[in-house]
Structures are given as C-alpha cells and as structure tokens.
Structure 1
Amino acid sequence: MVFPLMLILGGLSLMAFTQNEKPVVYLVGDSTMSDKRISSYPETGWGMPFQYYLTDEVEVENHARNGRSTRTFIEEGRWETIKETLKAGDYVFIQFGHNDEVPTKSRYTPPEQFQEFLRQYISETRQHDAHPILLTPITRRQFDENGQVKETHEQYSELMREVAASEYVPLIDMDRKSQAMLTEIGEEKSTLLFLHLEPGQNPNYPDGVTDNTHFSETGARMMAELVLQGLQELDHELAKYIVEGEE
C-alpha cells in the first residue's frame, strides 16, 4: 500500500507544482479596479470581469481595494503580501491616481511621492524577476459644453507617463483611452457605464445613486476590454493569453 500512496502523493505534488508555475497577474490599485461586495452591486471594478477574458494558462489575483493610494496600499501591508508570493514571470498591473491626487483626502500623495512610490512598485517587482505594467487612472465622467470629456486626472496621469518613460515600463493609458470612448458614446448614453440608479431601482441603493467614477457591470467590462486592447497595441506577451475573439 505504500507504493500506490507514494504515487498519489507524488502526483498531487506535481499538480501543485504545475499550478504554481502558472504566471500570475496581480492587480494593484483602487476602487475602479477592485472586487466588490454583494451589498455594492451593481457597482463593478474592471478587475472583476478582466480575469474571464484570459485563458486558464494564467491566473489573476485582484488585490485592489477601495480608497487606496500608492502610499496607503504600501502602508497597510498590502504590497508586502503580494511580494511574499510574487515570482519570476509574474505580472503586476499598477493603477493609482484617483485617491493620490485629492489634497483633502487622507490618502493624498504629493506628486513627488506619487512618482517615488510608483518607482518602488516597479523596482521591487523587477527584483522578483516579475514584470510591471502601469495604467493611468480611468477618467471620471465629466463633459464640457461641447460634449468633450474633461481632463480629470491631467497632472497625475502625466506623472505616471513620465515614470513609465524613465523606467522603461509598458504603459496602458487608460485615462486617454476612456476619454476617447466616453466622447464617442456621448454624455447621455455613457451613464450606462457608470453607477447611475433611480430611487427604488436597486435595493442596495434605495435612494438611487449618481456616481461618475465607479462602473456598472457594462462599464467594467468595457474598461477591461480597453486594457486588453492596450496589451495588444503594446504587442505585450500577455496578449497571447487573451481568449480568442476578445479584444
């Protein structure tokens, strides 16, 4: 009986080893990316549908959390947790800015520190022989009188672009991509992409809600598709894991 048992245990060990060798995509960011509680439905972070656009040859771990900035994500030990399992060949998607840029918030991160923290994420990712990818923050839904989407992250998106260029890190410019998409869809129809509910429409929001930052299920899927598009435009090696027909 010992011999079959050894075979079984050996097989299980081999399975675990094989599974662990899959590349992992770690999502690091704020509420626009994060998983949501059922009590927040239909609010959806783009990281939730993103995993379903990729084959099972790669794993996705969504570590993004509501209200976090580059600084608080590190201070709370969330980045340290990722580093404990980060291995060669993994990928780290880094998307911040919404909370960093607001001086009145406790999560505020001054411009110089914002870039310093981005460089820390990049450097420590590379120390594990893993691959960082920067994503500028997704635009807020704000239109001007001419039907054009307003710049809502101009300074911090540019700060991230500077870091991407100086550190030779792939960048998906979600700010510009989402601005272009919302402009094309238009002011009225773009409400369908965000958390807009009338009173009584959903039990989680009995008084209704008008939120031009966070996404509906439809909006989250469309933002995830912009990320896929960005990977393809970069000719990034992760693009080979995109499910056929998705872009």
Structure 2
Amino acid sequence: MAFTGPTPPRKTTIYLIGDSTIAQKTRQTFPETGWGMPLGTFFDTTVVVANHAQNGRSTRTFLAENRWQPIAAALQPGDYVLVQFGHNDESEAHPDRYTSPADYRRNLLKFVQETRARKAYPVIITPVTRRKFKDGRQQETHVAYSAATAELARAERVPLIDLDKLSRELLQQFGEENSRLLFLQLAPGDHPNYPYGRQDNTHFSELGARKMAQLVVSEIKAQQLLGLADHLAQPTAKNAVPPTPAGKDAQPTTP
C-alpha cells in the first residue's frame, strides 16, 4: 500500500476585483503595472493572491460580464475579497461602463453580502487617485465615489482602506514633477511598447504599482485586518541585516 503523507493545509486566497489600476498586465503593455501584481510578494507562502481585476470595468460591467459569480462560488471560509472600483463607474463619457453613485453603492453591497455569505472577508478600498496637480497641490479626483465607498463601509461595518486619501498624500510627498515616476510617463523611444511615448496619469509604472501595494499592505498591518496581517511576509535573516556602507572598512559579502 502506497504511503500518503499528511494533506498540506489549504492556503488562504486573497481575491482582487476591480479595474485597470489593479489588474495583471500583459507583456505588450509593460511597463504599465497594476498594484495587484506586486501585492503577493508582501505575504508569506500561506497566501495566494488571485487577481481578477480587469481593465475598463466598472462594478456594473464586472457583474454583467459574469466575472463576479465564479469568484463568489469559489470562495472558501477564511478567504478575502479586496474590492476597488470607481474609475470607470464615474466615467459619464462612457455610457457602456458608467454607473451612478447609487448603483455603485448597491453593487459594492452585493460584493460584500455575497462574500460574507461564504464566510469570507470583504475589504472595501476607495479608488486610487489619478495624478492631478493644481498650484502644487494634488487634487481629489474621485470625490463622489470615494464618499460612497466610505459610507457603505461604515454602514455595513466593512473594513475600509482609504487608498484615495493615502495615494494623494503619497503623490504630494513626491511632488508635482517627481510623482511622474509613479505613472506610465514615457518619452518617445523610452520603451518599444510605446514608440511615441505615453503621458498617462491613471496607470502606474512598476515603481508606482509597488508604492500603491505598499500603501494597501501598510493599512492591513495598521488595522490588523481580520487576521490578514498575520500572513504578511517576515524579513529573512539575511535581508534583515542592513547593508554595509561601501568604503575601506567594508567587508566582502559571501555570495
């Protein structure tokens, strides 16, 4: 009789649903990076990040295209669903995706209720800011939809990550010019995917995506969100040692 070892423990899954600011990008769109792409590197091996965010989707179209229903069906007790929409919901110029604030709130509520029905944990996130400076100050770019997100979180007692506010503060720290580094800002010839350049104040560079993911992780840790903070990766002994400054007294490191 063949010996079978113990069944490995089931990993916790963090599902990400949202729009292009989170989504997994293709090689053809690199260096555009969604903040969901580096998120998994901040967690230990007991966690799997399943990024189901899609470019161009609002809460309404995400539901209408049957993107949410398979996720809800797959949820297991103890899983997490991180929800960040708003960019496309508020796009009145695109009626194919526009969703009124009231309908946006109802759709968020559906995500929350159906997540909880599966004994999983919803976390609501306000839409990450667009880069928009005026007189040296980063402007608020999602007023109505961030307010609707926060109101729902309060009413339903759902953990809230105010990424709108946090990302605006980050851009202000970088400043009007340096904050370009966080976004897909390319001059002609910088990258073969964008031979004519790109001036994009919505989608992130690799650096910007990592910085936004760090903001999310910092709030998970600060709020001790539903035990999720217990799954954050810990520094290894090697990486925890500060690097030795270069100079005559510096010792060579063992490869």
Residue of structure 2 equivalent to 1:103? 92
Q: Partner of 1:48: helix, strand, or coil?
A: coil
How far did residue 216 of structure 1 move?
Answer: 0.2
Residue of structure 1 equivalent to 2:44? 55
Taking the aligned partners of 2:212 and 2:26, their CA distance within structure 1 comes to: 19
1:186 aligns to 2:179 (yes or no): no
How far did residue 58 of structure 1 move?
Answer: 1.0
Q: Which has the higher helix share?
A: 1
Taking the aligned partners of 2:101 and 2:74, their CA distance within structure 1 comes to: 30
How far did residue 239 of structure 1 move?
Answer: 1.1
User: Which letter maps to 1:48?
Assistant: M
Taking the aligned partners of 2:38 and 2:153, their CA distance within structure 1 comes to: 26
How far did residue 226 of structure 1 move?
Answer: 0.1
Taking the aligned partners of 1:75 and 1:35, their CA distance within structure 2 comes to: 20
Taking the aligned partners of 2:101 and 2:200, their CA distance within structure 1 comes to: 26
1:131 aligns to 2:121 (yes or no): yes
How far did residue 243 of structure 1 move?
Answer: 1.5
Q: How does 1:229-240 map to 2 (within 5 A)?
A: 229-236=218-225, 237-240=227-230
User: Which letter maps to 1:125?
Assistant: T
How far did residue 241 of structure 1 move?
Answer: 1.3
Runs of 4+ that moved beyond 6 A? none
How far did residue 174 of structure 1 move?
Answer: 0.2
Residue of structure 1 equivalent to 2:103? 113
Alignment match of 1:168 (pick from 148, 157, 161): 157
User: Which letter maps to 1:179?
Assistant: R
Residue of structure 2 equivalent to 1:211? 200
RMSD: 1.3
Residue of structure 2 equivalent to 1:75? 64
Taking the aligned partners of 1:234 and 1:70, their CA distance within structure 2 comes to: 26
Alignment match of 2:141 (pick from 152, 172, 176): 152
Taking the aligned partners of 2:97 and 2:28, their CA distance within structure 1 comes to: 24
Listed as ranges, the gaps of 5+ residues in structure 1 are: none
Taking the aligned partners of 1:245 and 1:138, their CA distance within structure 2 comes to: 28
1:14 aligns to 2:7 (yes or no): yes
Q: Partner of 2:188: helix, strand, or coil?
A: coil
Identity of aligned residues (%): 47
How far did residue 245 of structure 1 move?
Answer: 4.8
- Aligned residue-pair number: 234
User: Which letter maps to 1:164?
Assistant: A
Higher mean displacement: 236-245 or 67-76: 236-245
Q: Partner of 1:151: helix, strand, or coil?
A: coil
User: Which letter maps to 1:14?
Assistant: T
Taking the aligned partners of 1:99 and 1:162, their CA distance within structure 2 comes to: 19
- 1:4-29, Cα deviation, whole Å (9 max, x unpaired): 2xx3xx44x824xx3xx211100010
Q: Partner of 2:203: helix, strand, or coil?
A: strand
Listed as ranges, the gaps of 5+ residues in structure 2 are: 237-255
Q: Partner of 2:37: helix, strand, or coil?
A: helix
Taking the aligned partners of 1:153 and 1:241, their CA distance within structure 2 comes to: 31
Alignment match of 1:198 (pick from 166, 187, 191): 187
Q: Partner of 1:121: helix, strand, or coil?
A: helix
Taking the aligned partners of 1:63 and 1:234, their CA distance within structure 2 comes to: 24
How far did residue 206 of structure 1 move?
Answer: 0.4
Residue of structure 2 equivalent to 1:143? 133
Higher mean displacement: 187-196 or 76-85: 76-85
